[in-house]
Amino acid sequence: MADTLLEVIFGVVDLALDVSNVIDRTKQPSEPDTVEVPPDPKPLPPAAQRALAEAEERERAAQTASGTDQAS
């Protein structure tokens, strides 16, 4: 009989603690999800754009010459 009474008391205390935890969690303000956005990239200077275009052209020419032209 005493074991059953203790189990009931512990069950009620456990339930009260669970309810208390749920109430505490609902009181805490929720944080909005924030997303880090990288800054806009700076445009390349004209000399760098020309160098990049020349390097891409050389790469395409080398792939065509070696017969390993891959579909992009």
Residue-wise pLDDT tens for the chain (72 aa)?
677 988 999 999 999 999 999 888 887 676 677 888 888 888 889 999 999 999 999 999 998 888 765 554
Report the alpha-carbon angle 11-15-19, nearest 5: 175
Query: In the 8-state DSSP scheme, what is residue 67?
Result: T
Model pTM score: 0.37
Is the distance from CB of 44 to CB of 52 less than 8 angstroms? yes
**How far apart (Å, rounded) are the C-alpha atoms in residues 55 and 72?**
16
The structure tokens listed for 42 are 């700076």
Query: In the 8-state DSSP scheme, what is residue 19?
Result: H
Q: What are the backbone angles phi and psi of residue 45, rounded to the nearest 5°? A: -65, 155
